[in-house]
């Protein structure tokens, strides 16, 4: 497309940005105006290839607005492409409109929910990895970032991984407009500093001194080398509020919209706006994605019980032949999470994310958008630093289909100490809408629950234990999401003990001790913490005098609170034994006793009642 036509399209896009934000009375017009020429050139200059009528075509190029507050620009581009109407734009930020304040996949051209800054590049890495290593397709992924957001460490986690995996099909577009929300950014307009940083991470750098010169913008896109073995970053000097004199490079306008009078003044400055002019996006190169046919791996059956973390690794290998869309990501602890078991069997579907948990989750989301089913694992404690990425993943259309596993859960890991102990993970994952939270107590149930996770569409979390636990179940025993297993029951049970994972074994030991003193205790394996088996819990509440939950997790947000909430309308009291003291290094049995969640503590609590 001729530069003169691109210039007219850029004017139209700017008009739409100002009109929709003025109508909405909120939004970020100035942040959108700075990147208008960069993205108009990308979309309509022949670089970006996309079938607008088939947004899920696997051969389409992909665009991520990591700078999610520039959503007015995002929507204006699709209006200029003929996908949205002027009337559609007037619903921007309105209740029920797919044109949300920050893009989400409720608008089908948005790959993922963005706007929590620093995550888009990692999502783009996942999409680019899918193209290069899984589908083996020639599409490219573009990620628009703002200069403020590159202060986020997650950006650099993504940058180093993109270089490590030689993703020359990934292009970052850095909108250096100098002004953040409250003033100047860290590096102002120091393009050389940005270039040096990305170059140090192994990126091919292209610097644009004027990101509003459409001839220069188009030349920069032509300079991208998709065969160089390195990702590319286009670093462009821009002006916040470009196109409107009283907005240009002015502090104090971030996240502010124009009054009607200011809008009228701005439109005059823009010049003639041709609302009958539409841009054309080139179609993608069509080719077939590669297919993966995993060969079943024969594993020797272990006569002895395994830890649930080891059973997790074995289960991944077992389900691979029936789940060809699965991939496995691990954060340099695969020999502890036992994801390495899968990596040895199927190295072409195992991706090392190194010690960068935030980026690991973003990459998993990127892979999920392309139809992969990622299994993501690390120590449960370390998922807490990536929880914002997990939280954002839940906003994927029809739910992100990601499976998380946190190993080394609870104080029972022992002498490594509190920095390694996952004690908040159940609470975190319970907060997600429609999430599934599972906590197996032996190797047999672990294998069954891993398969259930793989078959369930949505975010699932499994908690695994470091220690080898006694085997409780037989092959073929039934498990369901939302189920439980009652392991000890009589007609004269006086109390119900509810445990999961390692504390289930403590509950069983306590039940034996109590039975010897004439107190029968029902024991329930609450392996599905979310959703709960409410029917079984209500039966127990009706048939016993009290319910005691026991968990190797902080009390807040854990099993006890989940059970108490589920039974809030019944008279039977619910008591919680949980981690309530700051833990320390020690032997597992010492720590369970210290936190009063071992068999002896359970017996004492029942006797007190």
Q: Could you tell me if 232 and 171 are in contact, meaning their C-beta atoms sit under 8 angstroms apart?
A: yes
**485-608: CATH topology:** Rossmann fold (3.40.50)
Give the integer Cα–Cα distance in Å for 576 and 599.
14
Please give the average per-residue pLDDT across 420-448, as a whole number: 97
Cα separation of 150 and 570, whole Å? 52
3-24 helix and 260-270 helix, angle to the nearest 10 degrees: 180
User: Which residues have CB under 8 Å from 266's CB, separation 6+?
Assistant: 18, 243, 244, 246, 247, 258
Helices (H) and strands (E) in the chain, counts: 22, 17
Establish whether domains 3-270 and 308-463 are of one fold: yes
Task: Parse the chain into domains and list their residue ranges.
Answer: 3-270, 308-463, 485-608
Task: Confirm whether 100 is a catalytic residue.
Answer: no
Region 120-147: mean pLDDT is 98
Alpha carbon of residue 14 to chain centroid: 32
pLDDT digits (tens, 9 = 90+) for 14-25: 999 999 999 999
Average model confidence (pLDDT) across the chain: 96
Correct CATH for 308-463 of 3.40.50.9100, 3.40.50.970, 1.10.3720.10, 3.40.50.2000: 3.40.50.970
397 — pLDDT class (breaks 50, 70, 90): low
Pick from 579, 476, 564, 1: nearest CA to 277: 1
Q: Tell me the DSSP string of 530-569.
A: ES--HHHHHHHHHHSS-EEEEEEEESTTSHHHHHHHHTTT
Identified catalytic residue from 100, 357, 506, 551 = 357
Mean pLDDT, residues 72-82 taken together: 98
Largest CA distance in the chain: 91
What is the per-residue pLDDT across 484-522, written as a single tens digit (0 to 9) for each?
A: 999 999 999 999 999 999 999 999 999 999 999 999 999
182-191 long-range CB contacts below 8 Å, 24 or more apart?
Answer: 182/254, 183/251, 184/251, 185/147, 185/148, 185/151, 186/148, 186/151, 187/147, 189/237, 191/235, 191/237
Assigned superfamily of 3-270: Thiamin diphosphate (ThDP)-binding fold, Pyr/PP domains (3.40.50.970)
For the cut 90, the answer to whether the pLDDT of residue 441 exceeds it is yes
Q: What are phi and psi of 183, to 5 degrees?
A: 150, -155
| Cα separations in angstroms, 81 against 10, 15, 89, 390 | 12, 15, 13, 32
For 354-401, the three-class secondary structure string (H helix, E strand, C coil) is CCCHHHHHHHHHHHHHCCCEEEEEEEHHHHHHHHHHHHHHCCCCCCCC
Q: Are 127 and 156 in contact (CB under 8 A)?
A: no
Is residue 239 within 8 A of residue 253, CB to CB? The reply is no
Q: Say if residues 111 and 65 touch (Cβ distance below 8 Å).
A: no
Q: What is the DSSP letter of 598?
A: S
Whole-number Å distance between alpha carbons of 425 and 460: 12
- pLDDT tens string 286-331: 999 999 999 998 877 777 889 999 999 999 999 999 999 999 999 9
Neighbours of 485 (CB within 10 A): 20
Which of 367, 394, 545 shows the shortest CA–CA distance to 461? 394
CA angle 318, 324, 330 (to 5 degrees): 70
pLDDT at 305: 84
Q: Please state whether 271 falls in left (phi above 0), alpha (psi between -120 and 50) or beta.
A: left
Q: Peptide bond preceding 23: is omega within 30 degrees of 0, i.e. cis?
A: no
pLDDT tens digit string along 24-35?
999 999 999 999
In terms of DSSP bridges, do strands 460-463 and 436-438 run parallel, antiparallel, or are they unpaired? parallel
Question: Per-residue pLDDT tens for 200-215?
Answer: 999 999 999 999 999 9
Q: Give the DSSP letter string of 30-93.
A: HHHHHTHHHHHHHHHTTS-B--TT-TT-TTS-EEEESSGGGHHHHHHHHHHTTSS-HHHHTTTT
Contact 316, 375 (CB under 8 A): yes
> Do 354 and 402 meet the contact criterion of CB atoms below 8 Å apart?
no
Query: What number is the average pLDDT over the span 544-568?
Result: 98
Q: Is the separation of the CB atoms in 189 and 216 below 8 Å?
A: no
The alpha carbon torsion through 262, 265, 269, 274 (nearest 10 deg) reads 100
pLDDT (mean) for 179-194: 95
Task: Give the C-alpha separation, 587 to 602, whole Å.
Answer: 19
Is residue 475 within 8 Å of residue 315, measured between CB atoms?
no
Residue 283 has what DSSP assignment? P
Three-state DSSP class for residue 464 = coil
Distance in angstroms (rounded) separating the CA atoms of residues 323 and 292: 10
CA gap 483, 499 in Å, rounded: 13
Q: How many residues does the chain have?
A: 609
Question: Which of 331, 332, 340 shows the shortest CA–CA distance to 310?
Answer: 340
List 399's β-bridge partners, or say none: none
């Amino acid at each position: 497309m001729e530069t003169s036509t691109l210039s007219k399209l850029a004017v139209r896009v700017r008009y739409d940005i100002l009109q929709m934000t003025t109508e909405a009375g909120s939004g970020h017009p100035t942040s959108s105006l700075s990147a208008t020429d960069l993205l108009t050139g990308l979309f309509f200059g022949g670089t970006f290839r996309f079938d607008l009528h088939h947004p899920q075509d696997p051969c389409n190029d992909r665009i991520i607005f990591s700078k999610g507050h520039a959503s007015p620009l995002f929507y204006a581009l699709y209006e200029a492409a003929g996908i949205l109407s002027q009337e559609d734009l007037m619903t921007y930020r309105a209740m029920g409109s797919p044109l949300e304040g920050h893009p989400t996949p409720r608008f089908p051209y948005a790959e993922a929910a963005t706007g929590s800054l620093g995550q888009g590049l990692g999502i783009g890495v996942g999409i680019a990895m899918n193209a290069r290593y899984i589908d083996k397709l020639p599409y490219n992924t573009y990620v628009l970032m703002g200069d403020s957001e590159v202060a986020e460490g997650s950006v650099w986690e993504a940058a180093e991984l993109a270089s490590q995996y030689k993703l020359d099909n990934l292009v970052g577009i850095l909108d250096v407009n100098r002004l953040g929300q409250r003033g100047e950014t860290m590096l102002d307009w120091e393009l050389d500093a940005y270039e040096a940083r990305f170059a140090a991470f192994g990126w091919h750098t292209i610097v644009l001194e004027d990101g509003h010169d459409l001839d220069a913008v188009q030349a920069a896109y032509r300079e991208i080398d998709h065969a160089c073995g390195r990702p590319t970053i286009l670093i462009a000097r821009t002006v916040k509020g470009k196109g409107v004199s009283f907005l240009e490079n002015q502090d104090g306008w971030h996240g502010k919209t124009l009054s009607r009078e200011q809008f009228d003044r701005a439109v005059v400055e823009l010049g003639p706006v041709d609302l009958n002019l539409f841009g054309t996006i080139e179609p993608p190169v069509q080719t077939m994605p590669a297919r993966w046919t995993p060969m079943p791996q024969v594993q020797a059956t272990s006569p002895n019980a395994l830890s649930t973390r080891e059973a997790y690794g074995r289960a991944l290998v077992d389900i691979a032949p029936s789940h060809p869309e699965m991939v496995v990501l691990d954060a340099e602890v695969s020999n502890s999470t036992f994801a390495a078991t899968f990596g040895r069997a199927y190295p072409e579907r195992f991706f090392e994310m190194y010690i960068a948990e935030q980026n690991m989750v973003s990459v998993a989301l990127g892979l999920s958008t392309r139809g992969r089913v990622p299994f993501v694992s690390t120590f449960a404690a370390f998922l807490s630093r990536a929880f914002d990425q997990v939280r954002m993943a839940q906003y994927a259309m029809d739910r992100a289909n990601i499976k998380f596993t946190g190993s080394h859960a609870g104080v029972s890991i022992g002498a490594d100490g509190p920095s390694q102990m996952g004690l908040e993970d159940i609470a975190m994952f319970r907060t997600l809408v429609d999430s599934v939270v599972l906590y197996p107590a032996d190797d047999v149930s672990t294998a069954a629950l891993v398969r259930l996770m793989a078959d369930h569409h949505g975010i699932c979390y499994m908690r695994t234990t470091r220690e080898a636990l006694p085997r409780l179940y037989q092959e073929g025993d039934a498990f369901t999401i939302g189920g439980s297993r009652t392991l000890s029951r009589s007609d004269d049970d006086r109390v119900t003990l509810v445990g999961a994972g390692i504390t289930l074994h403590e509950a069983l030991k306590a039940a034996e001790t109590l039975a010897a003193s004439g107190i029968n205790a029902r024991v329930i394996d609450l392996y599905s913490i979310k959703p709960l088996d409410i029917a079984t819990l209500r039966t127990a509440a009706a048939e016993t005098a009290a319910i005691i939950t026991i968990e190797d997790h902080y009390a807040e947000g854990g099993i006890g609170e989940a059970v108490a909430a589920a039974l809030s309308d019944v008279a039977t009291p619910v008591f919680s034994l949980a981690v309530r003291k700051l833990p320390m290094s020690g032997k597992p049995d010492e720590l369970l006793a210290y936190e009063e969640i071992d068999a002896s503590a359970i017996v004492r609590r029942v006797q007190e009642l």
